[in-house]
Amino acid sequence: MNEGKDNMKSSQIDVDGIMRTLGYTKYFHTTQFILISGSIIIASTNSFLYMFYALTPEYQCNNLTEFQFNQYNISINEVSVVYEKCSIDIINADKGLTTENRTLDCVNGYYYTTPVDKSIVSQWDLVCNTVGLAESTQTVYTLGQMNSGLLAPCLLEKFGRKPIRVSSHILLLVFNLVAAFSSSYWLFTIMRFLIGGAREVMPLYVIFTHVHT
């Protein structure tokens, strides 16, 4: 019985002794502090900026061209054209006319009060019939975190904490760069899912470090 206890004690790691040997302000601690601080800043900035790059600016339908006025038989002298957010209303200005009022879709896209590349909403016209797609990217991000929360512990146990941690940082950087230069909404959404997965590995790494220590 005593022999078993002695073996257990000898197999325990003297963490305090290791930390004293490494020193409190030397290369190891400085490097760890920089890496952890950098990852926290990147992750928090990514979440914070989402409130801005998914912002919906003021918008309305773009004006019709002269060709389209002729195409739709619209006479400027007889009707009033009102450009709404999601439609173009053609209203008879002369009450004596029997022509019915008409409504057209935004055939020329939308006009935004801010530059188009300031928001994913204006960049990919996520308004009117597609108004919910901008908010859904945050849901996809959360789904990525959930999947990573289930998968990451298995990877941490199999490959170790260090390889997974380094890989998650590299992947987070790559996924954010691809998302920043995405040419389509669907590519951006996929990147949001992967970013959520890579982001969730960070707190799990800390938990596993303390548990196994």
pLDDT, tens digit (0-9, with 9 covering 90-100), for 64-117: 988 888 888 887 777 888 999 999 998 876 665 556 788 899 989 999 998 888
pLDDT in tens, 129-159: 888 888 888 889 889 988 887 887 777 778 7
Is the separation of the CB atoms in 54 and 121 below 8 Å?
A: yes
Which pLDDT score, from 0 to 100, does residue 124 have? Answer: 92
Within-domain flag for 86: yes
What's the confidence (pLDDT) of residue 188?
92
- 124, 152, 176 — which closes off a domain? 124
Whether residue 101 is found in the same domain as residue 160: no
pLDDT band at 54 (very low <50, low <70, confident <90, very high): confident
pLDDT given for residue 200 in this prediction:
76
pLDDT at position 30: 75
Choose among 50, 44, 36: nearest CA to 192.
Answer: 50
Flag whether pLDDT at 6 surpasses 60. Answer: no
Q: Which of 103, 124, 145 is the endpoint of a domain?
A: 124
Kindly state whether residue 92 falls inside one of the protein's structural domains: yes
Question: Contact 189/139 with Cβ under 8 angstroms?
Answer: no
Same-domain pairing of 140 and 119: no
Q: Which residues does residue 102 pair with via DSSP β-bridges, in sequence order? A: 90
Last residue of a domain, one of 70, 103, 124: 124
Beta strands in 71-117 (DSSP E): 79-83, 88-92, 102-104, 110-112
* 137 and 208 assigned to the same domain: yes
Q: What is the pLDDT of residue 116?
A: 85
- On whether both 95 and 141 belong to a single domain, the answer is no
In a domain, 51, yes or no: no
| The predicted structure's pLDDT at residue 184 | 92
Mean pLDDT of 166-185: 85
Residues 136, 67, single domain; the answer is: no
pLDDT of residue 84: 92
Mean pLDDT on 157-169: 77
- Tell whether the model's pLDDT for residue 28 goes beyond 70: no
Pair (97, 158) in one structural domain: no
11 found inside a domain: no
Looking at the predicted structure, is the pLDDT value of residue 14 above 80? no
pLDDT band, very low/low/confident/very high, at 186 (cuts 50, 70, 90): very high
Answer yes or no: is 156 within a domain: yes
Residue 59 pLDDT class (50, 70, 90 cuts): very high
Residue 14 lies in a domain: no
Structural domain range at position 96: 59-124
Check residue 212 and give its pLDDT. Answer: 47
Q: Domain total for the chain?
A: 2
Does residue 163 sit in the same domain as residue 181? yes
Residue 104 sits in the same domain as residue 68: yes
Find, among 104, 101, 105, the residue nearest to 93 by Cα.
101
Element containing residue 91 per DSSP (H, E): strand 88-92
What is the per-residue pLDDT for 210? 45
Shared domain for 154 and 89, answered yes or no, is: no
Mean local confidence (pLDDT), 43-53: 71
